[in-house]
A and B are shown apart, each in its own frame.
Chain A
Amino acid sequence: MDKYEYQKIVKENKPKEPKLKNAIVSFLVGGSVCFIGQVIASILQVTFGMEVSESYIWLCIITIFIASLLTALGFFDNFVKKCQCGLIIPTTGFAHSMTSSSLDVRLDGMISGLGMSFFKLAGSVILYGIISAFFFSILGVIIYG
Chain B
Amino acid sequence: MIFLNSFLVGGLFCLVGQIILDNTKLTPGHVTSLFTVLGVVLSFFGIYQKLIDFSGAGATMIISNFGHVLYQGAYTGYHEMQLLGFVSGLLTKASSAIVSSIICAFVLALIFKPKD
Task: Name A residues whose Cβ lies closer than 8 Å to a Cβ of B.
Answer: 17, 19, 22-23, 26-35, 37-42, 52, 56-57, 59-61, 63-65, 68-69, 71-74, 84-86, 88-91, 93-95, 97-99, 102-104, 106-107, 114, 118, 121-122, 124-126, 128-130, 132-134, 136-141
Interface digits, B53-73 against A, CB 8 Å rule (1 contact, 0 not)? 001111011110111001101
Residues of B within 8 Å of A106, CB to CB, are: 109-110, 113-114
Docked pose: A59 CA to B10 CA in angstroms? 15
The one of B6, B31, B43, B115 in contact with A85, judged by C-beta atoms closer than 8 angstroms, is: B31
| Interface membership of B102, Cβ < 8 A | yes
- Secondary structure call for the B interface: helix
Q: Are B44 and A39 in contact (CB under 8 A)?
A: no
Identity of the chain B residue whose Cβ is nearest the Cβ of A40 in the assembled complex? B57
A35–B8 CA distance with the chains assembled, in angstroms: 9
CB pair A89 B70 closer than 8 Å: no
Contacts of B111 in A (CB 8 A): 72
Interface of A is mostly: helix
Q: Which residues on B sit within 8 Å (CB–CB) of A22?
A: 18, 22
Q: Which A residue sits closest to B10, measured CB to CB?
A: A34
Residue from A23, A38, A74, A126 within 8 A of B3 (CB atoms): A38
**Given A132-B40, A138-B86, A38 and B18 touching (CB < 8 A)?**
no
Bound-state Cα–Cα, A38 to B54, Å: 12
A59 touches B60 (CB 8 A): yes
Residue of A nearest to B12 (CB): A27
Q: A22-B18, A26-B17, A72-B112 are in contact. Are A59 and B61 (CB under 8 A)?
A: yes
Q: Which residues from B are CB-within-8-Å of A26? A: 14-15, 17-18
Quick one: given A134-B86, A137-B78, are A91 and B65 in contact (CB under 8 Å)?
yes
Query: Are B41 and A34 in contact, with the CB atoms below 8 A?
Result: no
Question: Which of chain A's residues have a CB closer than 8 A to the CB of B71?
Answer: 133, 136-137, 140
Contact B98 A126 (CB under 8 A): yes
A57 CA to B34 CA in the complex, in Å?
A: 22
